Structures are given as structure tokens and as C-alpha cells.
Amino acid sequence: MQFILYLSRFIIPFLIFYIIGYGLLAKVPVYDSFIRGARQGLETVVRIVPTLIGLMIAAVVLRASGFLDFLASLLGRIASESVFPASLVPLALLRMFSSSAATGLLLDIYKEYGTDSSVGLIASLMMCCTETIFYTMSLYFMTAGIKKTRHTLCGALLSTFAGIAACVVLARAMG
């Protein structure tokens, strides 16, 4: 185990020196390539910042307006408490939009129910088994210039619901 820890300290510096050395041996202008890549990275950031701001504002508005609580109570009545806890519906909805907002909600769930409770365990697993669908889709498709998403949203929602179902089953089996 100590060898792996020792080795892990040197992997990143080794990779940096390897890339620079390989570029110098291949007679590639390493610094100029780095500057071009950094410029392209900044241009990408400038293109995606409006989308990121819009998604963050949408997540804050959903939570602050009470619409998320309304939708959670509506869906909570449909979901039986024995199948899926109604207190986790806001987390499941918000997780599709924003990971940071979902993390804030997760901390609230931990304070109310505890980390070792069934609800806390399902919430923890749900944060690991689901993705920020709308954030990821808007960011990657906008960056790639894709206008028609075809079946991506349906597939992403299906995999999210499968992940949530797996979380419930695993948490019930563990608890």
C-alpha cells in the first residue's frame, strides 16, 4: 500500500515531464501548443458561461419559489412511502439540474433524517447513481453545436430512474 501511495505522488509530475519531453523530441513547439490550447479553453468557457448561469438561476428559482416543493408534494402523493420516500422527491428532481443545489438539499436531508437512516442512505446512493441531465446535455450539446438531441433526453431520464430504483433496492437490502 505504501508503494502505491509513493507512486501516486509522482504520477502527475511524470506525465507532465513525459508530455513535454515527447513534444520536444517530436520537434513540436510545446509552449506555443500550450498557449493555443489555453486560448481554445478560454473561448469554450466564454461560450458555456451563459448556459451555466441560466441553469444555476433556474435551480435557485425552482427551489426558492416553492415550485419544487409543490411538485415534490404532488409526486410524493403518487409515490407510496414504502416504495420511494416522498422527502427524496425534491432531491431527485433537483439533481437533474444542478449537482451543487442537490448537495445543499442532501445536507438538509442529513440534518433532518440522519446519515445512517434509510432516507439518508437512499439519498447518498442517489447522488452517486444519477447525473445532472439537463446541465450535461446543454453544456455538451451546445459546445459541440448539436441542435437535435434525438433520443438523448429519453435515454438519460430512463437511466436516471433506473439508478434511483437501484438506489432504493440497494438501500433496503443494506438497511
pLDDT values of the chain reduced to their tens digit, one per residue, 175 residues = 788 888 888 999 999 999 999 999 999 999 999 999 999 999 988 888 887 788 778 878 877 888 877 877 787 777 666 678 888 888 888 888 888 888 988 999 999 999 989 899 999 999 998 888 988 888 888 778 888 888 898 999 999 999 999 998 998 888 6
Q: Which three cell numbers stand for residue 107?
A: 445536507
Beta strands in 4-115 (DSSP E): none
Neighbouring CB atoms inside 10 A of 60's CB total 13
Burial class of residue 103 in the structure, from the number of CB atoms within 10 Å of its CB (0-12 exposed, 13-18 middle, 19+ buried)? middle
Q: What is the dihedral of CA 105, 59, 74, 116, to 10 degrees?
A: -10
Spatial separation of the C-alpha atoms in residues 90 and 104, rounded to whole Å: 11
